[in-house]
Amino acid sequence: MTAVRLADVTFGYGSPPQIERVTLNIEEGERVGLLGRNGVGKSTLLKLIAGELRPESGSISLPPGAHAAYLTQDVPSGLAGTVFDRVADGLGSLGSTIADYHRLHRQAHPDQVALDVAVHQLGEHHAWEKLHQVERILGDMDLDGDRLFDDLSAGRKRRVLLARALVDKPEILLLDEPTNHLDIDSIVWLQGYISRFEGTVMFITHDRAFLQTMATQVIELDRGRLFDFKGSYQNFLRHRDELLDGSAQAVEEPLTHRGLQDESRDHELQRDPPRDDSPRQRSAMRRHRPCRGAEEEDADERAQVDHARNLPRSIAANERGRTQADGMRGQLAERARSARELDAAIVRTQ
C-alpha cells in the first residue's frame, strides 16, 4: 500500500525550482533516507509532505486518516513552558487540555473548579489514553516533564521535539537530522524505536552509521529531480556509481564515433581537395581532359553545386552534436561532483 504519493509536484523559491515535476510513490513500512547537497531542497520536500508547505503544481496525498509528524532540523524560537507542555503539543488541540490537567494535578492546592473542568474535558474527549502516551514517551526518552524547556541544553531540546513528534503515534514520520545533538544512548533508543515503528519513516541525515542501519530505500534529490534506489545505503552507492559510469560511456562512444567520421572526412578532403569552380578553371579543365558529353559535364557541375550547398549544413549539424555531447559531459561531471560532495559531507560527520 502506498503511504506517500507525489504526482508531478513542483515547488521553488526561484528559477530553477527546488522541486521540479517530481512523481514518487513511497510504500508503507519503508524507511527512506533522503540525500542531497545542502540547499537542494531536502527539508522543503519534508515540509511539503507534512503539509506545512503547498506545492505550486501537482499533488501530494496520504492514505485516508493517516497523518504525518515532522521533526524540524532546528529548535524553534519562542518555546516556553515545561517539557510536558511541549511534548503534549504533539497531540494537537487536546494537548493544552492534557497539559492543564497535568499542571493542576501536581499542585499541592489546586484550583478545584479548574481541575474538575479539566477532568471533564479529558473524559468527554476520551483523552486519558493520550495522557498516558505523553507519560510513556517522557519515560522512554528519559525526560523530566516538570523541567522548563528554556533551561535545557540543545541536545535535550532536540530530544523533547523528537518526543513531541512521536507522542501521537503518526503513520508517517518525517525526521530532519534526527541524530543532531543526541548522545549515543538516545541514538540507540531512536534506532530501536524506528525499527519497531510500523509506519513509514522518511529522514534526512549526514550520520552514515544511522543511514546504513536504518534505510531500506534511498532517494537522492539533485537539481529538482528525485533518483530512487531500493535497498540499503551501500546498494545506493553501488548503483549510483554504475549509473554514472554507464552514462559516461554512453556519451563517449558517440563522440568517439563522430571524431572518427570527422578524421576520415579530413583525409578525404586532403586526398581530393575541393576544386575551383570558377568559369576560367572549368574552361581550363575542359581543354586538358578528354572530351565528355554535355550531359555528363552538367551532372558533374550540379553535383558540385549540391555539395557546396550542403557543406555548411553538415558542418552546423556536426557542431550541434559536439555541443550536445559537451552538455551531457557537463551534466555528468556535475552529478559526479554532487556525489563526491555528498560523500564528503557524510564522512565529515563521523
Q: Where are the domains of the chain?
A: 1-67+170-231, 78-162, 249-348
If one compares 222 and 322, the residue with the highest pLDDT of the two is: 222
* Residue 217 near residue 30, CB atoms below 8 Å: yes
How many CB atoms sit inside 10 A of residue 82's CB?
A: 20
pLDDT at residue 92, rounded to an integer? 87
* Residue 171 near residue 67, CB atoms below 8 Å: yes
pLDDT at residue 197, rounded to an integer? 87
pLDDT at residue 289, rounded to an integer? 47
As given in the structure block, the three cell numbers for residue 187 are 541514538
How many CB atoms sit inside 10 A of residue 63's CB?
A: 15
Lowest mean pLDDT among 52-66, 157-171, 187-201, 335-349: 335-349
If one compares 189 and 85, the residue with the highest pLDDT of the two is: 85
- The beta-carbon contacts of 77-81 under 8 Å, at least 24 apart in sequence, are 79/149, 79/150, 79/157, 80/148, 80/149, 80/150, 81/148, 81/149
pLDDT in tens, 275-312: 555 555 555 554 444 444 545 555 555 555 455 555 45
**Residue (of 350, 39, 36) closest to 207 by Cα position:** 350
Whether 82 shows a pLDDT value over 80: the answer reads yes
If one compares 193 and 302, the residue with the highest pLDDT of the two is: 193
pLDDT in tens, 97-128: 999 999 998 888 888 999 898 899 888 888 89
Mean pLDDT of 311-319: 50
Side-by-side strand order, sheet with 57-61 = 19-27, 2-11, 57-61
Going from the C-alpha of 246 to that of each of 238, 240, 252, the distances in angstroms are 12, 10, 10
Cα 200 to the chain's mean position, in Å? 17
**Residue (of 124, 158, 160, 328) closest to 246 by Cα position:** 328
Residue whose entry in the numeric block shows the C-alpha cell 479539566:
118
Does 3.40.50.300 match the CATH number of domain 1-67+170-231?
Answer: yes
What value, to the nearest 5°, has the Cα angle with vertex 206 and ends 152 and 161? 30
pLDDT in tens, 205-257: 988 899 999 999 999 998 888 888 888 888 888 887 777 776 556 555 555 55
pLDDT at residue 252, rounded to an integer? 54
Side-by-side strand order, sheet with 31-35 = 68-71, 172-176, 200-204, 31-35, 217-222, 225-230
Q: What is the mean pLDDT of the chain?
A: 79
Dihedral pair phi/psi, residue 184, rounded to 5°: -60, -45
